[in-house]
A and B are shown apart, each in its own frame.
Chain A
Amino acid sequence: METESGSGRGHVIRRALTATGRGWALIGQSVRSVAVFALVVVSGAVGPIGLGVVLLPRSLMLLRRTATAARRRASEWSGVEIEVPYRPLPDEGPGFPARMTRLWAQLCDPQTWRDLSWALLDPIIGAFLAALAAGAAWYGVYGYVAGIFWQPLTQHGMDDWYTFIHISRAGHLTFLRWFTLPVGTAFLVAGVWAAPALIRVHGRWTAVLLGPTKQARQDALTHRVARLTETRADAVDTQAAELRRIERDLHDGAQARLVAMGMNLGAAESLLDEHPEAARALLVEAREASAKALTELRELVRGIHPPVLADRGLGDAVRALALNSPLPVEVTVDIPGRLEPAVESAAYFAVSELLTNVAKHAHARSVRVDLWHRDRRLRVTCTDDGHGGAGVGSGSGLAGIERRIGTFDGVLAVHSPVGGPTTVTLEIPCASSSAKTSTS
């Protein structure tokens, strides 16, 4: 019990020390934000003379980065999760018009203006809270120092007041000097006790201006609903097409072969007594038909859900794909446990299509596929040393992949300069099952 309460006390002190340290860091942050505020205002002011066109986009990006860092700190230090409320920016493109479109979009985003007012107010309100958190406990400690070492301190020109106590006062009230000890203790206790709470309050203050407004949240929801409607329609279409394909394959393939087999067997049965040779030939034919039906069913199953994917998960399934590719494919996998089955399947078929694309169009000599899962996101990159020039729009099948992973809020990025190399990156948010250790 002793040690427990001891460690508990240690814990409290450590927390208080951390909180006061954070207070100091937050004061530093508010200095930074006032500088950014000044920068934005100045580059806005010189806008009319043309210089602003160069400066404003940069200083606005700096503002955004500063605000984003503050949001992250609020989440890490105060446990206050602040959604990133910006409207999506138009695609990054080269050239002056694209830059201006982006600038205009940024200026039209109300959050930009809220960020700016935060940059002005945080040095006042935020820094006040931070200074309380940072200073109170130390001021308490200073109370002891002032009470004990008042003489040398005042001789060296230090202020001879500690709160309401005049420490160098002579006469019959000198005993008041000793009040610095209880008052200092009060500050110390209050500081240790309040610092973590003040840091939390600071986090909440940050959320007031840097968090989304009701309107922004509603806009984001509207946007999300539109996106979900679109991807759901895609998913339904894809699935319906898939079912039609399976139906057709079964109808024309295995089903037809089974019918032929049945007929052959029936004919063989009736020929068995009188023409055993002819019956034998029919039986051989029936056996061949059954083998063909099996082959077709196997291909069909592979197209629906590859058995190795079900057995081993995405990593080994992609390794198996790599082994079957006509090109040398190097695969690295860093996925603990298993992913959600639907995501595994989508990612598998995406990689399969990417490898087919590379083999068909890229004139590549080798391919690299990297899979990794971190922070609830699956990331796949596929890099080839081919001649490049691939794009989502150019009918390369990339648009299809993008549509299918869109169902899972996945995104696809292509980097493919003419002359290569080409890198396609997929990112799909998904959870991973608790790391299942493989038996080996």
Chain B
Amino acid sequence: MRIVIGEDLYLLREGLARLLEAHGCEIVAAVADGPSLLEAMIEHRPDVALVDVRLPPTFTDEGLKAALAARARIPGLPVLVLSQYVERLYARELLADGAGAVGYLLKDRVFDAAQFVDAVRRVAGGGTAMDPEVIAKLLARGGPSEPVGQLTPRELEVLGLMAEGRSNAAIAAKLVVTERAVAKHTSNIFAKLGLPPSDDDNRRVLAVLAYLDH
């Protein structure tokens, strides 16, 4: 997997590179500011770009803007955004083009190397990886009168994991149930929310996210 990294803190940049190289990825560029990140993404067209939201020179959301600009130039370019904090507003902007292949995670998630690399692979494969904190904020909105409020606790759990971008198999492994049980839950969820059923994992996730973030 060919990867571009945009991260201004030296230790984190090197740490990410080392971690990913250890898992068999190739780092084609590791840059430290917004403009060179955009350039690197367009020049190398990586399988996935890891982007820190806040980058020089302005130290605002330079990284996010570079990621959005790159995706405007190269539709569907896989981008995994990392940040010290997550904002629904930014998640919405990343998901807005409906193309998928985006991730938005807290930097803390790097601690769990296996899960992190899994998220990187998922995004590179066109899937999504949303931070549980974003999903929790999305789910917190559902009052008792809304369809989300009518889900059973188990279904809510499955919905949360699905919205994070996990496949049925991954959800089954996480909840220690069979894949068939998960499939049953997901079809129940789709029925209760009034969403059209879909076999495509990525499409399904995007539909759920769009529903929650209406």
**Which positions in A face B, CB cutoff 8 Å?**
287, 290-291, 294-295, 298, 301-302, 307-308, 310-312, 316, 319-320, 323-324, 326, 439
Q: Name the one of A287, A295, A302, A311 contacting B61, with C-beta atoms under 8 angstroms.
A: A311
Q: Which of B107-141 contact A (CB under 8 A)?
A: 107-108, 111, 137, 140-141
Among the listed B61, B85, B141, which residue makes an inter-chain contact with A298, where contact means beta carbons less than 8 Å apart? B85
- A324-B137, A326-B141 are known contacts. Are A310 and B89 too (CB-CB below 8 A)? no
Q: Does B178 contact A (CB under 8 A)?
A: no
Q: Which residue of A lies closest to B86 (CB)?
A: A298
CA distance A320 to B88 in the complex (A): 7
What residues on A are CB-neighbors of B92 within 8 Å? Answer: 323
Give the size of the chain B interface in residues (CB under 8 angstroms): 20
Cβ-neighbour of A320 out of B65, B87, B108, B143 (below 8 A): B87
Q: How near does chain B come to A209, taking the closest CB pair, in angstroms?
A: 52
A311 to B88, CA, bound (A): 14
Closest beta carbon of chain A to B113's beta carbon, Å: 11
Given contacts A295-B108, A298-B84, A302-B85, 15 further A-B contacts (CB under 8 A): A294-B84, A301-B84, A301-B85, A308-B87, A308-B89, A311-B60, A311-B61, A312-B61, A316-B89, A319-B89, A320-B88, A323-B88, A323-B92, A323-B137, A326-B143
- Please tell me if B185 contacts chain A, counting CB pairs below 8 Å: no
Give chain B nearest CB distance to A329 CB in angstroms: 11
Given contacts A307-B54, A310-B60, contact A294 B108 (CB under 8 A): yes
CA distance A298 to B137 in the complex (A): 15
Separation of A324 and B87 alpha carbons in the complex (Å): 9
Dominant secondary structure of chain B at its interface with chain A = helix
Say whether A326 contacts B54, CB under 8 Å.
Answer: no
Q: In terms of DSSP, what is the predominant structure of the interface of chain A? A: helix
CB distance from B150 to the nearest CB of A (A): 17
> What chain A residues lie within 8 Å of B61 (beta carbons)?
311-312
Q: Measured between alpha carbons, how far is A367 from B107 in the docked complex, in Å?
A: 33
Closest to A287 in B: B111
Query: With the chains together, A311 CA to B137 CA distance in Å?
Result: 20
The 8 Å CB contact of B108, one of A291, A310, A311, is A291
Interfacial chain B residues near A311, Cβ < 8 Å: 53-54, 60-61
Kindly state whether residue B9 has any CB partner on chain A within 8 Å. Answer: no
Chain A residues with CB under 8 A of B191? none
Known: A298-B84, A324-B88, A324-B137. A312 touches B108 (CB 8 A): no
Cα of A319 to Cα of B88 in the assembled complex, Å: 10
Q: Chain B: which residue is nearest A321 at the CB level?
A: B89
Residues of A within 8 A of B69 (CB): 439
State the CA gap A180–B89 with chains docked (Å): 78
Evaluate contact between B89 and A320: CB separation under 8 angstroms: yes
| Contacting pair A312 B84 (CB below 8 A) | no
Cα–Cα distance between A46 and B191 once the two chains are bound (Å): 79
Whether A312 lies near B88 (C-beta < 8 A) is no
Contact residues in A for B87 (Cβ distance below 8 Å): 307-308, 320, 323
Q: Mark B40-80, 1 if CB is under 8 A from A, else 0.
A: 00000000000001100000110001000100000000000
Whether the Cβ atoms of B85 and A307 lie closer than 8 Å is yes
Could you mark each residue 143-156 of chain B with 1 if its beta carbon is under 8 Å from any beta carbon of chain A, else 0?
10000000000000
Q: Cα distance A439–B61 when bound, in Å?
A: 11
How far apart sit A103 and B7, CA to CA, in the bound complex (Å)?
A: 66
Listed A/B pairs (12) with beta-carbon separation below 8 Å: A290-B111, A291-B108, A291-B111, A294-B108, A298-B85, A302-B85, A307-B84, A307-B87, A308-B89, A311-B60, A324-B88, A326-B143
A15, chain B: closest CB distance, angstroms: 46
Chain B minimum-CB-distance residue to A293 = B108
In whole angstroms, how far apart are the Cα atoms of A108 and B53 in the complex? 61
What's the least CB distance linking B109 to chain A, in Å?
Answer: 9
Centre residue among A287, A307, A326 by max chain B CB count within 10 A? A307
B213 nearest CB neighbor, chain A only: A323
Interface flags for B84-100 (1: CB within 8 Å of A; 0: not) read 11011110100000000
Give, as a whole number of angstroms, the nearest-CB distance from A286 to chain B. Answer: 11
- Give the distance to chain A from B94, nearest Cβ to Cβ, in Å: 14
Contacts of A294 in B (CB 8 A): 84, 107-108
Smallest Cβ-Cβ distance to B91: which chain A residue: A323
The residue on B at minimum CB distance from A322 is: B89
- Once the chains are docked, how many angstroms separate the CA of A323 from the CA of B89? 7
Distance A439 CA – B143 CA, assembled complex (angstroms): 36
Q: Which of B54, B61, B89, B137 has the most CB of A within 10 A?
A: B89
Residues of B contacting A287 in the complex (Cβ-Cβ under 8 angstroms): 111
CA distance A136 to B141 in the complex (A): 73
- Contacting residues, chain B, for A301 (C-beta < 8 A): 84-85
For B89, the chain A residues whose CB sits under 8 A away are 308, 316, 319-320, 323
Q: How far is the CA of A307 from the CA of B53 in the complex (A)?
A: 10
Most chain A CB atoms below 10 A, which of B87, B88, B90: B87
Q: In whole angstroms, what is the CA distance A319 to B140 when docked? A: 17
Complex Cα gap A301–B61 (Å): 16
Report the 10 A-B pairs with minimum CB-CB distance, sorted nearest first: A311-B61, A311-B60, A323-B88, A320-B89, A308-B87, A294-B108, A320-B87, A291-B108, A298-B85, A307-B85
Which B residues are in CB contact (< 8 Å) with A298? 84-85
- Least CB distance, A10 to chain B, in whole angstroms: 47
* Docked complex Cα distance between A161 and B53 (Å): 85
Report how far A294 CA is from B108 CA in the complex, Å.
Answer: 8
Whole-angstrom CA separation of A310 from B58 in the bound complex: 10
A324–B85 CA distance with the chains assembled, in angstroms: 14
Write the nearest CB–CB distance from A225 to chain B, whole angstroms: 38
Do B140 and A326 touch across chains, with their CB atoms under 8 A apart? Answer: yes
Q: In whole Å, how far is B160's beta carbon from the nearest beta carbon of chain A?
A: 17
- CB of A315, distance to nearest CB on chain B (Å): 11
CA distance in complex: A310, B85 (Å): 13
A321: min CB distance to chain B, Å: 9
Chain B positions within 8 Å of A290 at CB level: 111
Q: How far is the CB of B62 from chain A (nearest CB, A)?
A: 9
Residue in A closest to B60 when the chains form the complex, CB atoms: A311
Closest to B92 in A: A323
